Structures are given as structure tokens and as C-alpha cells.
């Protein structure tokens, strides 16, 4: 018994040394340890067994439950539990009503039942949080031990007659082992460590031994046969219920962890490859892709706003969400609905997405620079090749014709020779600005090289294209530039006017438009010629 007392004292000190949960657990163990010490002292004749001592023992036992009730109440805040799991309350209720038939008066048993029900009321939601992935797996070691073993050991200790002093020694050994499981589980939870096989072996052994002790005690109590069978059946269910309350949620938690690991590996892999589209991304495609990525990570995500793209929104906007940032610059916001919960890793994902989105935006800026003519701001040939697939897709989807125009400024070399290359650059910039003002949003203007401009007209046949470029030629002729003192004209070659089958056909039209442009030059310039 002296060794057992030292072991209990060591466990109490160990519990008090743990942060957060330790003081409450240490207080409970100290109260229970004091009750057991006084109880065994009375059995050994060191103290007289008086009514006052019995009252003190029960008060210490009751007081030991209260810190654990407060501890579990703290852990159960915000947790939800399926109502069916409260059926576990049948175990203490069953044992209490069986014991009432043999213990008189039974007031203390009703108080004990109330405390045990409070332990279950707060303990079950805290326990259920583990298989849902909201609490560390180590909770499955100490919480079922606290609930099932302590209910069993106190039920056993309250029932007369006590089997023997040897039985009491076994009971104390089982109780001490259960305290070790509680302290060890709390230590593992505080350190976010995993349950080892030795912990499971000790837990199963304690559950089986404790409820076997309950059965043996009732068999010695000479209870009616029906009551004895009832207690044996209830004890067996309690033993296996305790074991399953450790092993089954642990299996579910590990399965859930593996599934989450696979899910997050996939999400992080896709984030590393973001954007995954083969074509150059658009703001809309980036927003949709990021929204789907967030939805895979958390079903409570309902919307996404990218302020970096003129407040582009996918989904719906709510009051709650997290901000996407990169290098202190706000890029957008992820909106949450429902319970607004997305797990502990979602905040980290938002930070990673913000950094990745910033990298993509900077990359797109570089691509724009690579695809844009630095003088005029129009697309260059590479930019045209990048944008062409989108234009073809819109044309085929909407059954709209495409016309290619090749525009060349007449006698541009003479302008450079007379007025200088700086004046020629100003002229090119003025024509580029004129094209952007006079073309539609879906049309595409490209600086093809030197003084040549390529224009892709969407939803336009050749006749409509002629009308558009007659207007463009007129506007070019009206240009009045400070450093150029002569009239500027342009020649245009047109080709296409149909729905193209593929990009090869478009490039063939470019050659035809170029041939038409050459004919326009040969015929006297300042005119439009259509490819035959």
C-alpha cells in the first residue's frame, strides 16, 4: 500500500506540472488519493471506521469529480454530439439502481449518479471531437478511462460486502493504473503526441480487470440470481464499451487523418501547379480555379472576391471570411457561410494561396510584357499567338465570322527620313491608339512589325470589315501631329470573312491579307483591297 501511495502522489505531482489541464486534473487526483488513503487506513486499523469518516470519504469522492467536470466542460465548448451517444448514460444509471437495492440509505448513490451523469454530459462531446478531427487522439486514452473506470471503481467500492483485503488490493492496483492512463493521456494531449501500443494494452487490461472485479464483488454479495445476471451483462457491456470507446474512435481518427492527408496533399499539389489551365489564364479562370480549391478544402466556403481584378466575385459575398494577402498587399477575400468553421489548416491555406496568387500575378505581368509591343502597347506576334485560341473558341461557339486585316502606313520610311525616328514613333503610337478606340472589345489589334498592323475582327464578314476600315482610314488621314507636316494615309488588305476551322486557316488568311495589302500598294496606296 505504501508503494501505491507513493505512486499516486507521483501521479498527482506529475499532473500539477502540466500546463492548462494539469491543475484541475491534479486537484481531482489529490482528492481521490486522499479518500483512498483514509479508506485503506481504516481497513488496516490505523483509523476507526466512524460515520464521520464515511461522510468525509464520500465528500472527498464527490469533490474529486468536480474538477474533472469543469475540465471537460471547458473542452466540450462548441462541440456537438449526436443525441444517440447519450445512451452511454445507461451504464451509471443501471449500476446505481442495482446498488440501491442493497445499500440503505442511498442518498450518496444519487449524488454519485448525478456527478457521473455530469461527467458523461460534458465528456461525450469532448470525446466525439476526436474522430471528427477536432481534438488530439490522446484524448481517447484518458477520457474513456476517466468515465468508464471511475464509474466502475466507485460503483464497486460502494457495494457491500467487500470481497476481501486481497480484493481491495487488486482494486487499488487497477485504480492506480487508471490514474496513470489519465495522467499519461493528458500529457500526450498537451504535447500533441500519439498513442503508443503500450498505452492501448494497459487500457484494455484495466477495463477488463476493473469490470471483472465488479462482477466478482456482486457474486460475493449473494445477490438474487436475476440481479447477478443483470450486473454481469451490464459489466460486460461496460467493459467492451470502454474498450471500443478507445479503439473505434482511434481507428476512425486515423482513417480520417489519412483521408485528410491525401486531400491536403492533392490541394497543395494543385496549388503548386496553379493555374493548371494550359491556355494563358484570365481573371475569371483564376477566380473559378481558386474558388474550387477552397471548396475542396472547406465546404463552408461560399464565395471568393479578387480585388486585384476589379473586385471580381465568384459565388456569394458574406460578412465572414479571410483576407488573401501577399507581401502586405490585399488581393481579395474568401467568404465563409454556415458554421464558418474550416479546420485548423484553412488559415494556413489562405496564406499560401495569397502568396501563390501574388506570384501568378507577377508572372502574368511579365507575360504581358513579353506579349506586348513596348512602343504602342498593342500585342506583338507572340501575344497574337497566345490570344488566337480564345478568339477561335468564341467564333466557333457563337458561329461568328472572322476577318483578318493587314494595315500598313503609306510612305512611312519617308516620314522617318524627313522628320526623324522619334516622330515616326509618335505616329505609330497615334495609329495604335486610334485602332483601340475604333475597334470593338473582342477585336484584336497587333503590331505585326515595323509600320504594319494586323487586326482580327470578330463577328464581321468582308463587307462589314470594309466599312470598318474605311472609317479607320479616314481617321488616320485626319491625324494632325506636331512634328509631321504632311497627310498620313494607310493601305489595307482583307481576307477571311468566314468561321475558321482552326488556327492554320487563320494564318493562311494572314498571308492572303498580306498579298492583298501588296496589291493595294501597287494600285496606288490609300485604299482597301480584298483577297480573292
Whether 242 contacts 144, CB under 8 Å: yes
Does residue 172 lie within any of the structural domains?
yes
Whether 511 contacts 424, CB under 8 Å: no
Which of 321, 349, 370 lies at the terminal end of a domain, its last residue?
Answer: 370
Does residue 269 lie within any of the structural domains?
no
54 vs 322: CA distance, rounded Å: 58
226 & 302 share domain: no
Does residue 517 lie within any of the structural domains?
yes
331 & 311 share domain: yes
What's the grid cell of residue 9?
502522489
Q: Given the DSSP bridges, would you call strands 490-498 and 402-409 parallel, antiparallel or unpaired? A: antiparallel
What does the pLDDT read at residue 340? Answer: 67
Which of 370, 403, 422 lies at the terminal end of a domain, its last residue?
Answer: 370
**Angle between helical axes of 225-273 and 283-297 (0-180°, round to 10):** 160
4 vs 2: CA distance, rounded Å: 5
234 & 107 share domain: yes
338 & 392 share domain: no
Q: In 3D, which of 58, 65, 60, 61 has the Cα closest to residue 115?
A: 65
What's the grid cell of residue 503?
488556327
385 & 364 share domain: no
512 & 477 share domain: yes
363 & 385 share domain: no
Does residue 262 lie within any of the structural domains?
no
The set of residues, in sequence order, having a beta carbon less than 8 Å from that of 218 and lying 6+ positions away, is: 159, 227, 228, 231, 232
The position carrying cell 465548448 is 77
Whether 370 contacts 457, CB under 8 Å: no
Secondary structure letter of residue 459 according to DSSP: S
Helix (H) or strand (E) run with residue 522 in it: helix 503-522
What does the pLDDT read at residue 226? Answer: 56
11 vs 67: CA distance, rounded Å: 16
DSSP strands (E only) in 402-504: 402-409, 444-449, 452-458, 490-498
460: domain CATH number is 3.30.70.270
What's the grid cell of residue 323?
483576407
302 vs 335: CA distance, rounded Å: 6
The set of residues, in sequence order, having a beta carbon less than 8 Å from that of 266 and lying 6+ positions away, is: 296
412 & 525 share domain: yes
446 vs 74: CA distance, rounded Å: 67
468 vs 457: CA distance, rounded Å: 9
What's the grid cell of residue 401?
465570322
352 & 474 share domain: no
What does the pLDDT read at residue 162? Answer: 46
15 & 153 share domain: yes
Query: Residues of 349-360 as b/e, b for ≥16 C-beta within 10 angstroms?
Result: bbeebbbbbbeb
Task: Give per-10-residue mean pLDDT for the chain (532 aa).
Answer: 80 89 91 84 75 87 92 86 81 71 71 86 90 87 84 61 61 85 92 89 86 68 59 72 85 84 89 77 86 92 86 88 88 85 86 91 72 88 85 88 96 92 94 92 90 94 94 93 90 95 93 95 94 84
What's the grid cell of residue 101?
437495492
CA atoms in the 13 A half-sphere facing the CB of 120: 23
Does residue 494 lie within any of the structural domains?
yes
359 & 219 share domain: no
Tally of domains in the chain: 3
Does residue 78 lie within any of the structural domains?
yes
The set of residues, in sequence order, having a beta carbon less than 8 Å from that of 8 and lying 6+ positions away, is: 29, 33, 36, 37, 176, 179
Q: Look at residue 480 and give its three-state secondary structure.
A: coil
What does the pLDDT read at residue 367? Answer: 64
What does the pLDDT read at residue 256? Answer: 81
155 vs 96: CA distance, rounded Å: 7
Does residue 39 lie within any of the structural domains?
yes
| Bond into 238 cis (ω within 30) | no
pLDDT tens for 360-370 read 887 776 666 67
Task: State which residues form the domain around 230.
Answer: 1-250
The set of residues, in sequence order, having a beta carbon less than 8 Å from that of 482 and lying 6+ positions away, is: none
431 vs 424: CA distance, rounded Å: 11
**pTM score, two decimals?**
0.59
What does the pLDDT read at residue 157? Answer: 58
> Any bridge partners for residue 81, and if so which?
none
424 & 457 share domain: yes
DSSP for 60-96, written as a single string: HHHHHHHHHHHHHHHHTTT----GGGGGGGHHHHHHH
Amino acid at each position: 500500500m505504501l508503494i501505491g501511495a507513493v505512486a499516486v502522489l507521483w501521479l498527482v505531482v506529475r499532473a500539477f506540472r502540466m500546463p492548462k489541464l494539469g491543475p484541475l486534473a491534479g486537484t481531482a487526483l489529490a482528492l481521490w488519493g486522499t479518500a483512498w488513503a483514509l479508506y485503506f487506513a481504516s481497513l488496516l486499523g490505523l483509523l476507526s471506521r466512524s460515520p464521520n469518516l464515511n461522510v468525509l470519504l464520500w465528500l472527498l469522492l464527490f469533490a474529486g469529480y468536480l474538477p474533472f467536470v469543469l475540465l471537460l466542460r471547458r473542452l466540450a465548448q462548441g462541440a456537438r454530439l449526436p443525441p444517440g451517444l447519450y445512451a452511454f448514460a445507461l451504464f451509471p444509471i443501471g449500476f446505481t439502481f442495482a446498488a440501491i437495492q442493497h445499500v440503505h440509505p442511498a442518498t450518496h448513490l444519487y449524488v454519485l449518479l448525478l456527478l457521473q451523469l455530469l461527467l458523461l454530459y460534458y465528456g461525450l462531446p469532448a470525446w466525439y471531437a476526436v474522430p471528427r478531427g477536432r481534438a488530439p487522439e490522446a484524448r481517447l486514452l484518458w477520457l474513456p478511462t476517466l468515465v468508464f473506470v471511475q464509474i466502475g471503481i466507485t460503483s464497486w467500492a460502494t457495494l457491500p460486502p467487500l470481497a476481501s483485503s486481497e480484493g481491495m488490493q487488486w482494486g487499488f492496483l487497477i485504480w492506480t493504473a487508471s490514474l496513470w492512463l489519465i495522467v499519461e493521456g493528458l500529457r500526450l494531449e498537451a504535447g500533441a503526441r500519439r498513442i503508443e501500443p503500450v498505452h492501448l494494452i494497459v487500457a484494455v487490461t484495466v477495463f477488463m480487470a476493473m469490470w471483472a472485479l465488479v462482477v466478482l464483488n456482486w457474486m460475493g454479495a449473494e445477490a438474487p440470481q436475476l440481479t447477478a445476471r443483470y450486473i454481469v451483462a451490464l459489466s460486460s457491456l461496460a467493459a467492451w464499451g470502454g474498450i471500443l470507446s478507445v479503439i473505434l474512435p482511434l481507428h476512425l481518427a486515423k482513417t480520417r487523418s489519412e483521408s485528410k492527408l491525401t486531400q491536403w496533399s492533392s490541394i497543395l499539389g494543385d496549388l503548386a501547379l496553379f493555374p493548371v489551365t494550359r491556355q494563358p489564364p484570365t481573371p475569371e479562370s483564376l477566380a473559378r480555379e481558386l474558388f474550387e480549391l477552397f471548396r475542396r478544402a472547406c465546404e463552408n466556403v461560399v464565395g471568393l472576391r479578387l480585388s486585384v481584378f476589379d473586385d471580381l466575385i465568384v459565388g456569394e459575398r458574406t460578412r465572414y471570411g479571410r483576407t488573401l494577402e501577399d507581401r502586405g498587399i490585399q488581393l481579395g477575400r474568401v467568404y465563409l457561410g454556415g458554421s464558418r468553421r474550416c479546420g485548423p489548416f484553412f488559415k494556413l491555406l489562405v496564406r499560401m494561396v495569397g502568396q501563390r496568387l501574388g506570384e501568378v500575378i507577377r508572372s502574368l505581368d511579365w507575360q504581358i510584357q513579353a506579349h506586348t509591343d513596348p512602343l504602342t502597347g498593342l500585342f506583338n506576334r507572340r501575344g497574337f499567338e497566345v490570344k488566337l485560341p480564345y478568339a477561335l473558341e468564341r467564333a466557333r461557339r457563337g458561329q461568328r465570322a472572322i476577318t483578318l486585316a493587314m494595315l500598313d502606313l503609306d510612305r512611312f520610311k519617308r516620314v522617318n527620313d524627313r522628320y526623324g525616328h522619334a516622330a515616326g514613333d509618335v505616329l505609330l503610337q497615334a495609329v495604335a491608339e486610334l485602332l483601340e478606340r475604333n475597334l470593338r472589345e473582342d477585336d484584336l489589334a497587333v503590331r505585326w512589325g515595323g509600320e504594319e498592323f494586323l487586326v482580327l475582327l470578330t463577328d464581321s464578314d468582308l463587307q462589314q470589315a470594309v466599312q470598318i476600315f474605311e472609317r479607320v482610314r479616314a481617321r488616320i488621314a485626319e491625324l494632325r501631329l506636331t512634328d509631321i507636316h504632311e497627310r498620313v494615309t494607310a493601305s489595307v488588305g482583307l481576307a477571311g470573312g468566314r468561321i475558321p476551322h482552326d488556327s492554320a486557316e487563320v494564318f493562311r488568311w494572314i498571308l492572303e491579307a498580306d498579298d492583298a495589302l501588296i496589291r493595294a500598294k501597287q494600285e496606288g496606296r490609300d485604299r482597301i483591297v480584298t483577297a480573292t
